Structure 1
Amino acid sequence: MAVPLDHSSAVDYTALRNFAALRGQLRVSLTPRCNIACWFCHNEGDIPPPVTRANRSLQPRMKQFSAENYLTSIEALAGAGLKRVYFTGGEPLTSPLARPVLENLPDLGADGSYTLITNGTRVRYHRSWLAGTRLDKVKVSLHYFSDESIRAIANTRISIDAVLDGIEQARGIFPQVELNCLLQRENEHEIGSILEFSLNRRLPVQFIELVSTDFNESRASSAVSADALIAHLRTLTADERTEVTGVGQGRRVFRVDGVEIDVIHRNLGRHHVGQCGACPKRTHCVEGFWALRLDHTGSLQPCLLRDDLRLDVTSLVNHPGHLAETTASHVSAFTEGSL
């Protein structure tokens, strides 16, 4: 049951509710650890696996949250309006908290949804209990389509067969399975094959242009424009629309034989709010404010590029009403530019 809000409170929930109404996400990072190490990983604002592999002295922040802490926070924030919940990592299925969290998720009602974002390699191992969760959808990252490209992109000996098997396992468990693929030089020659794979299995797929962060700027030359893909999709279908409303980057949406293909295209703009106006990182921010990130340290972060805007909620998890109020106030200050 969602935590009831104190409507007599002086806290203004308008900004938080507007963010939720614009399809803003609550992204819950269960762990910063991953069994692969994609070079572009931003790890939801923590030290990414490839950085740790290169320098063991650089480690993610220490875990503070328990499964109960996560569940209390999700319920409180859902009660405040954040009902689009995405579970991320690292790789969430490497976390010992994945099962106790995902098996005990509160009911979000008809207007809520839970999505697991995974690299697919651990789905088969966890399939028995995953089938009993409230997850509505699984998004599998398919940035590669051969052993050669998965080695080049993810720095792993894991075979592409494990990822493809994970997709098939997910299809047998969940009502919705989608794919996402980051466009890059390392997989440019395989984009057509990934598209064909998704169409043959009638799986929606989202192609994404690279978002630059401090952790991947040394390989910025790997970024690939979506223009060639968009031109190809226009040879397959005339069913195209552009979405620039809501939060996050604009996207082009194609429907090919009933299968939805999204292209996150930086040319379509982004959703910036008050705090963004004077932000020193505004010039290279292509996303704006589209997600609140709750991580393993008990921090809520409204912006991937600004660690200084993190809100520590560890002291609030035993007071769900206060957690919701404090989050609402934080989002209000962020959108008003006064944080």
Structure 2
Amino acid sequence: MLMDTFGRQATDLRVSLTDRCNLRCTYCMPEEGLQWLGKPDLLTDDEIVRLVRIAVTDLGVTEVRFTGGEPLLRPGLTGIVERCAELTPRPKLSLTTNGIGLERTATALKAASLDRVNVSLDTLRPDVFQRMTRRKRHADVLRGLDAARSAGLDPVKVNTVLMPGVNDDEAPDLLAWAIEHHYELRFIEQMPLDAQHGWQREGMITAGDILASLRTRFELTPEGSEERGSAPAERWIVDGGPHRVGVIASVTRPFCRACDRTRLTADGQIRNCLFAREETDLRALLRSDAPDEAVAQRWREAMWGKKAGAGLDDPDFVQPDRPMSAIGG
């Protein structure tokens, strides 16, 4: 199993399929974009499937989330999903996307046995969307969400980041909209993973701010106990149910002590924490014809060294060199 010295077991694998993205979100990357990985640096489809197979059959992984960059930009995505769905035991398969392109791919992804999707959408206002993403693609995302729901990729979850002075007044409207369209909304605190390294704790919209804003219109009741385990989102029942809203407070209420994640970058590096500054190279092992057990053992060693927490509250915290688009959610 993928255990660490604190007794945590990693059963949730996040697989980045590409570092490329067709948006330029202000809290993620600069307007001109980034220096993308070259094709030889990227894992091939076969290499990705092999690593997922090792994770599932040898290391106890039960859930696989495909991420990016923007994973819909990966030409072999549908085939990768289909092959991973054929593994025994079959892992749960999901996808995090910006929704652009989902209108044309949702049905094929469902046919390939993808279980569900998370779609990023930070605003209901097209002008604000353009300001935040530097692209006029708001309508495309809405159509992609509708296509995902129609294809049966349930539950369709919507991820939202609120930025001060930009969209921080939209929380109640976003929740009302999500309820109307039967999406599950999750607000995410902005994290120090932007390429510009411009994140500042002061002024960020916190989980407390989000909940206070939502309560101006809705009654929120905590779902279950205070302990959320390894789930990143604290969930709240809205107006007595059945609808729910989640808040992922990675900065102000981190869930490190129960974290069950391991991350594979598009160029074959294992990261044992989203905020890690060290990586372990599995791509080199694959390309030197190492056997599965050698790959699995290197992966175990990488996870064994996982720190107790991300250290966001440490005054000496240093942001990772790689931005979120290069790490994968």
- State TM-score, norm by structure 1: 0.77
Partner secondary structure for residue 131 of structure 1: helix
Q: Distance in 2 between matches of 1:105 and 1:190?
A: 38
Where structure 1 has 5 or more consecutive residues not aligned to the other structure, the ranges are 1-11, 42-49, 273-287
The answer to whether 1:117 aligns with 2:111 is: no
Aligned pairs for 1:247-258 (under 5 A) are 247=230, 251-256=233-238, 257-258=241-242
The change in CA–CA distance for 1:76 and 1:17 in structure 2 (over 3 A counts) is farther
How many residues are aligned here?
296
The answer to whether 1:294 aligns with 2:264 is: yes
The answer to whether 1:331 aligns with 2:314 is: no
The change in CA–CA distance for 1:31 and 1:199 in structure 2 (over 3 A counts) is same
Counterpart in the other structure of 1:73: 51
Counterpart in the other structure of 1:164: 142
Q: Distance in 1 between matches of 2:6 and 2:181?
A: 36
The answer to whether 1:28 aligns with 2:12 is: no
2:143 maps to a residue whose letter is D
Q: Is the 8 A contact 1:116 1:138 kept in 2?
A: yes
Counterpart in the other structure of 2:167: 187
Where structure 2 has 5 or more consecutive residues not aligned to the other structure, the ranges are 310-329
Q: Is the 8 A contact 1:105 1:133 kept in 2?
A: no
Counterpart in the other structure of 1:46: none
Shift of 1:203: 1.6
Counterpart in the other structure of 1:316: 285
Corresponding residue to 2:191 among 211, 224, 230: 211
Q: Is the 8 A contact 1:17 1:81 kept in 2?
A: no
Counterpart in the other structure of 1:196: 176
Aligned pairs for 1:76-87 (under 5 A) are 76-79=54-57, 80-87=59-66
Corresponding residue to 1:154 among 133, 136, 147: 133
The change in CA–CA distance for 1:244 and 1:157 in structure 2 (over 3 A counts) is same
Identity of aligned residues (%): 23
Q: Distance in 1 between matches of 2:266 and 2:285?
A: 14
Partner secondary structure for residue 167 of structure 2: helix
Q: Distance in 2 between matches of 1:123 and 1:16?
A: 40
- State TM-score, norm by structure 2: 0.79
Q: Calculate the aligned-residue CA RMSD, in Å.
A: 2.9
Counterpart in the other structure of 2:319: none
Q: Distance in 2 between matches of 1:14 and 1:151?
A: 43
The change in CA–CA distance for 1:243 and 1:217 in structure 2 (over 3 A counts) is farther
Task: Deviation per CA, 1:45-102: give whole Å up to 9, x if none.
Answer: xxxxx34x5376x444653311011011001101211121111111100111312212
1:163 maps to a residue whose letter is V
Q: Is the 8 A contact 2:107 2:148 kept in 1?
A: no
The answer to which structure has the higher helix fraction is 1
Aligned pairs for 1:226-305 (under 5 A) are 226-234=207-215, 236-241=218-223, 243-247=226-230, 251-256=233-238, 257-265=241-249, 266-271=251-256, 291-305=261-275
Shift of 1:330: 1.6
Partner secondary structure for residue 298 of structure 2: helix
Aligned pairs for 1:1-16 (under 5 A) are 13-15=2-4
Task: Deviation per CA, 1:237-284: give whole Å up to 9, x if none.
Answer: 3521464453476x4321122122111234434415xxxxxxxxxxxx
Q: Distance in 2 between matches of 1:195 and 1:260?
A: 9
Q: Distance in 2 between matches of 1:224 and 1:90?
A: 24
The change in CA–CA distance for 1:126 and 1:192 in structure 2 (over 3 A counts) is same
The answer to whether 1:224 aligns with 2:205 is: yes
Q: Is the 8 A contact 2:96 2:119 kept in 1?
A: yes
